[in-house]
Amino acid sequence: MNTEQALLTLKRNREVLFALRHAASILGIDGETVAPSGSAATRAKTMGEISRMTYDLVTDKEASAALEYLFEHRDELDPVDRRNVSELYRHLDDTRKIPKEEAAAFSMLLAESSAVWHEAKIKSDFALFEPYLEKVFDGMKKRASRLDPERDPYDVTMDRFERALNTAKCDAFFGELKPRLAPLVAKIRKSEQIDDGPVVSLFTVEEQRKISDFAMDFLRLDRRYCSLGETEHPFMAAVDKHDVRIHTHYYAENFLYSMYSVIHEGGHALYELHIGNELQGTSLAGGCSMALHESQSRFFENYVGRSRPFTDRLHDFLTKTFPGRIDSVSKDDFYRMVNKAGPSLIRTEADELTYSLHVMIRYDLERRIFDGSLAVHDLPKEWNRLYGEALGLDVPDDRRGVLQDSHWSNANIGYFPSYALGSAYGAQYLAEMKKSFDPLKAVESGDLTPVENWLEDKIWRHGKMLDPADLFRSVCGAFDPSVYADYLETKFNALYN
Amino acid sequence: MNTEQALLTLKRNREVLFALRHAASILGIDGETVAPSGSAATRAKTMGEISRMTYDLVTDKEASAALEYLFEHRDELDPVDRRNVSELYRHLDDTRKIPKEEAAAFSMLLAESSAVWHEAKIKSDFALFEPYLEKVFDGMKKRASRLDPERDPYDVTMDRFERALNTAKCDAFFGELKPRLAPLVAKIRKSEQIDDGPVVSLFTVEEQRKISDFAMDFLRLDRRYCSLGETEHPFMAAVDKHDVRIHTHYYAENFLYSMYSVIHEGGHALYELHIGNELQGTSLAGGCSMALHESQSRFFENYVGRSRPFTDRLHDFLTKTFPGRIDSVSKDDFYRMVNKAGPSLIRTEADELTYSLHVMIRYDLERRIFDGSLAVHDLPKEWNRLYGEALGLDVPDDRRGVLQDSHWSNANIGYFPSYALGSAYGAQYLAEMKKSFDPLKAVESGDLTPVENWLEDKIWRHGKMLDPADLFRSVCGAFDPSVYADYLETKFNALYN
């Protein structure tokens, strides 16, 4: 064997694997969007077969020999190949630790649990979902013990989304953040409340679709490569940089929900649309980690989308497109309404300030299920207790409680901290950008080019070339949650005087 | 080897193949519906890989040895296994005649040509589509010569949709039909014209979606297993009897287009939803042929959907759901409007009477491209000439001309005769039903159960257990196009006095 031959063997193997992943990705999107509900069992079987074929290809004798050869000779490779080979080698190593049939059964489970969650949420029926959720948590614990029996299984699981993140780091982060947020939330609860009711329910679903188009255009999302669809729980999925999908959900009673979902998922989409061309076809062609990903989505959702210059432009758009609807609402009031803060039931609708409190609840619950101190069966009760404790709320039903997020049905456990981490990263991006240009001026002008160019240059194009903590450090230096806490204090003290 | 072992080997092989077909089917649907336009190239590559994997599995040494063993011992098998093995053996034989890379390249071509057709249709730009269409026709000619170099290549190609159909049979059918339709069409052109303009443009797209729901309910389509989506050119696609997809297209200016598309595709869907359970997992689990399939879709579209009892019920629904819209239109006039006959540009919008003339034009063109007497480049000119000759129309652009149908972009060449054949079959079903019950009474009552039970018992549940001509004969005896011609004469003479 020589390097050139080995690279060719690997490339051919990866092309077939990519096709299987592409198929699995589209089957997954289809299942979450337009597939009839009764199709879940067949789809689960197909996912199982694709998992088996994928396993066989990853562990294929010839291809894995080539990979091992390349890994031994990685110092001779160019930087992209070197990183690609290292990542693939790590993935091969992980794959070999999990028996093929166990992996296939878990893929099938996820296809089913996703469909059952969907039904359970609509019916607000946790009992329907419980047996599946139990299996998902058990499966993830087993996976963790197979991958690394020495480490804490929840840490191993978090690694899947954020390499090298662990409970120690999360605890430190939340430990710093919570004491700064809690008094602010308490103060706001005692302040005069902002009433956004009359404004947010003004637009029909058909009109909200036009507002989505406005948001997509504002983010400069290229519709040739980025589609917009509908689903129960908003998500972005990418096949490659030429096939990125945003999905939102329209509620007639709140146009802000669908619009901020589009902007949030649009931030994810921008990342995937701008991965460097030289990484296409390698394992590095995707967002670096989930915290990095959420740092993009949350950046556009909040630092851009909930900024005063954006709400002013949105106000202009709405008064022009739908005359007579919000004309009597001043831009000052509109900004305050959009940024209304305070305890709420739904994470994805939460204001910037309380958002991380939602995340901390999920983190706490996951961790305790992993260490065995909480049973899946007791999740709803415990969920509701924590929402009472942290946010002073009564959860009226599981649809607006423990069933609200799709994540667990897809085994996205250990994922939630990424949202808070990503939100905090954004405050540091903003500070960094201000050293060379004014990002809010760009929002005001309606042309986000400088913001997007900066993010593309610093983050997007690099894909997975660096580990996430290293990538963040290369952009902003040390991670400092106080920048985020300062930002929130300044913004919400001003809003609520 | 013994029969039991061989059946198990074959079953396992078929399970994996089913997963690949499932994936290819969903990728195809995705490409025709929600995928961003720029995703076509990647999807084409994936289709190529799936084609290669499929080829390897079909020709797998162990599985094909098992199949050959079973084919030799087919007399020992039960009827379903025997038929399944015979069909699979025929398929293996066909697969072996076409080189793997040629098949993969053709799959890739179709994924691309489908996307290009879509763009070309919207832009009304035949030149964009022409090079792809040329390759599709060339590929299908080559395929025919590989499958059976002794037979007429167009006959071989028609076989794909309707086993044993050939130009001799088509010529005989059209030869009998055309002389009966032409004078009727000519007479109607001289009669007083029906004006449906004010009625068909009354409903917004959002309202048309409600009319679609009415049509789905009327056909008793179970939404758990049958979804309704949107696309450029209406189609039905089925993964299995628990996953059937209908797609329609909404034009604000004509609510009848979307509704009759839903009913037409709904007829296809009913067929797939009622394949016998004992055929699931075999190669027999699907509609018997395209003429049989179109005989279902055209039956519900016309014999049910354009019948007087249906238009009365539709009138009731529309006046109740959208008060004040068509209240001033009498049920008599509404029936006449819905059945307005006369030359038109678009096949899928054609009335029952002129419909087959559209089919004959396509049949004529395909045949001449296959025998070399017509070049793909000259298709638009020739299309327009034939529409002038047969229907007295000037085709204003290729969008409403040669680019209107998606079929050729998907290599569905030799498919069109199925529509006319299926339409003719329907007249014989109606006559057969009347021997045991009154199908129009069922329509009038709003409960199609007796109609659907009859079709399920006679046709749907049997899947591909019989060859199409045999299945039709088992239901209606000899094929007799005069029953169809009589039906059309009676209906349209009455409508136009």
Inside any domain, residue A420: yes
Residue B436 has pLDDT above 90, yes or no: yes
| Residue B232: band (very low, low, confident or very high) from pLDDT cuts 50, 70, 90 | confident
CB–CB of B121/B399 below 8 Å?
A: yes
- pTM over the 0.90 mark: yes
Q: What is the mean pLDDT of chain B?
A: 96
How many Cβ atoms sit within 10 Å of the Cβ of residue A74?
A: 16
ipTM comes to: 0.93
Please give the residue range of the domain that contains residue A409. 167-201+258-495
- Choose, from A265, A272, A294, A352, the residue flagged as catalytic: A265
Q: Do both A45 and A188 map to the same domain? A: no
Cβ–Cβ gap B43/A19 under 8 Å: no
Question: Chain B residue with minimal CA distance to A37?
Answer: B224
What DSSP character marks residue A301? I
**What distance lies between CA B447 and its chain's CA centroid?**
25
On whether both A303 and A445 belong to a single domain, the answer is: yes
Q: What sections of A371-447 are H helices per DSSP?
A: 379-391, 417-434, 439-445
In a domain, B206, yes or no: no
Give the model confidence (pLDDT) of B450-461 as tens digits. 999 999 999 999
Per DSSP, helices labelled H in A98-221 are 100-123, 126-147, 153-159, 167-190, 197-200, 205-218
Say yes or no: B75 and B189 in one domain.
no
Q: Tokens 């257990």 label which residue?
A: B465
User: What's the burial of A311, exposed, middle or buried (CB within 10 Å: 0-12/13-18/19+)?
Assistant: buried
From the list A226, A240, A245, the residue facing B42 with the nearest CB is A240
Model pLDDT for residues A123-142, shown as the tens digit of each residue: 999 999 999 999 999 999 99
Residues 6+ apart with CB under 8 A from A126: A120, A379, A380, A398, A402, A403
Query: Greatest CA separation found in chain B?
Result: 74
* Tokens describing residue B167: 């130009």
B194 and chain A in contact, CB less than 8 A: no
Q: How confident is the model at residue B497 (pLDDT cuts 50, 70, 90)?
A: confident
Residues of chain A positioned with their CB less than 8 A from the CB of B46:
18-19, 22-23
Residue B219: pLDDT band by 50, 70, 90 thresholds?
very high
Same-domain pairing of B171 and B58: no
Q: How many helices (H) and strands (E) does chain A have?
A: 21, 3
A276 in contact with chain B, both atoms CB, cutoff 8 A: no
Instruction: Examine the domain organization and report whether A194 and A269 are in the same domain.
Output: yes
- Confidence label for B334 from pLDDT (cuts 50, 70 and 90): very high
Q: Does residue A141 belong to any structural domain of this protein?
A: no
Question: Each residue of A217-276: pLDDT tens digit?
Answer: 999 999 999 999 999 889 999 999 999 999 999 999 999 999 999 999 999 999 999 999
Structural contact between residues A41 and A94, judged by C-beta atoms closer than 8 angstroms? no
pLDDT of residue A330: 96
Query: Do A342 and A422 reside in the same domain of the chain?
Result: yes
CATH number at residue A364: 1.10.1370.30
- Rounded CA separation A39/A46 (Å): 11
Q: Identify the segments of chain A with pLDDT beneath 70.
A: none
Q: What SS3 class is residue A240?
A: strand
Residue B284: pLDDT band (50, 70, 90) is very high
Place of tokens 């035949």: B126
For a pLDDT cut of 70, what percent of chain B falls above it? Answer: 100
Task: Establish if A219 belongs to a structural domain.
Answer: no
In a domain, B90, yes or no: yes
Say whether A366 is catalytic: no
Together in a domain, B118 and B171: no
Q: Over 90: is that where the pLDDT of B447 sits?
A: yes
Q: Are residues B384 and B287 in the same domain?
A: yes
pLDDT band, residue B196 (cuts 50/70/90): confident
B56 touching chain A per CB within 8 A: no
Among residues B19, B88, B10, which one has the least CA distance to residue B50? Answer: B19
Residues B34 and B173 in one domain: no
CA distance A96 to chain B (A): 22
Residue B491: inside a domain:
yes
Enumerate the residues of chain B whose CB falls inside 8 A of the CB of residue A223: 36
Among B63, B94, B123, the domain-final residue is: B123
Q: Taking Cα atoms as reference points, which of A363, A298, A430 lies closest to residue A165?
A: A363
Check residue A139 and give left, alpha or beta (phi > 0: left; psi -120 to 50: alpha): alpha
| C-alpha torsion angle, residues B166, B171, B173, B177 (rounded to 10) | 150
Q: Is residue A206 part of a domain?
A: no
What pLDDT was estimated at residue A232?
Answer: 87
